[in-house]
Amino acid sequence: MIEGKRILVIEDEFIVAAMLCDTLEDAGAIPLGPVGRVSEAMETIGAGGIDAAVLDWNLAGEPGIPLAAERTERGVPFVIATGYGSVDAPFDDRPILGKPYISSQLLDKLGALFTA
């Protein structure tokens, strides 16, 4: 489902990001990043070549809203990762991945982005 897809990992906790990248690689995806700050993520998004993203909703105290808006504007699907359980509108209709991550849920949610 996600084999060969370029997935941007936007996560500020390096160990968590590394585990996400390992999971994506094991599933045959191409992890990009990880990036842990809004400014870094905006640069990477601007460069293009991304099929989807996993977006931590809180990056070192900065909200992920500008990144979600940029992803939406560019038409690139994403999964929001959060330990808070939900996010506010207008992104409350996006797939939510709860923290701590469960690899099978991550892969299911990302796979659904490409089958919808």
In the structure, what pLDDT confidence band is assigned to residue 38 with cuts at 50, 70 and 90? very high
Answer whether residue 19 is part of any domain: yes
pLDDT for 116: 62
Answer whether residue 62 is part of any domain: yes
We report the CATH number of the domain holding residue 17 as: 3.40.50.2300
Answer whether residue 87 is part of any domain: yes
pLDDT for 53: 96
pLDDT for 88: 82
Per-residue CA distances from 56 to 4, 82, 115, 116 (Å): 22, 6, 22, 22
How many domains does one find in the chain? 1
Q: What is the DSSP letter of 49?
A: -
pLDDT for 86: 80
Q: Supply the range of the domain harboring residue 10.
A: 6-115
Average pLDDT over residues 14-21: 94
* The residue to which tokens 């940029």 are assigned: 70
Share of residues in the chain with pLDDT > 90 (%): 68
Cut 0.85: pTM above it: yes
- Taking the C-alpha atoms of residue 52 and residue 42, their distance in angstroms, rounded to an integer, is 14
Answer whether residue 1 is part of any domain: no
Answer whether residue 14 is part of any domain: yes
Answer whether residue 80 is part of any domain: yes
pLDDT tens, residue by residue, 55-110? 999 998 898 899 999 888 888 899 999 988 788 889 989 999 988 889 999 999 99
Whether cis (ω within 30° of 0) applies to the bond prior to 100 is yes
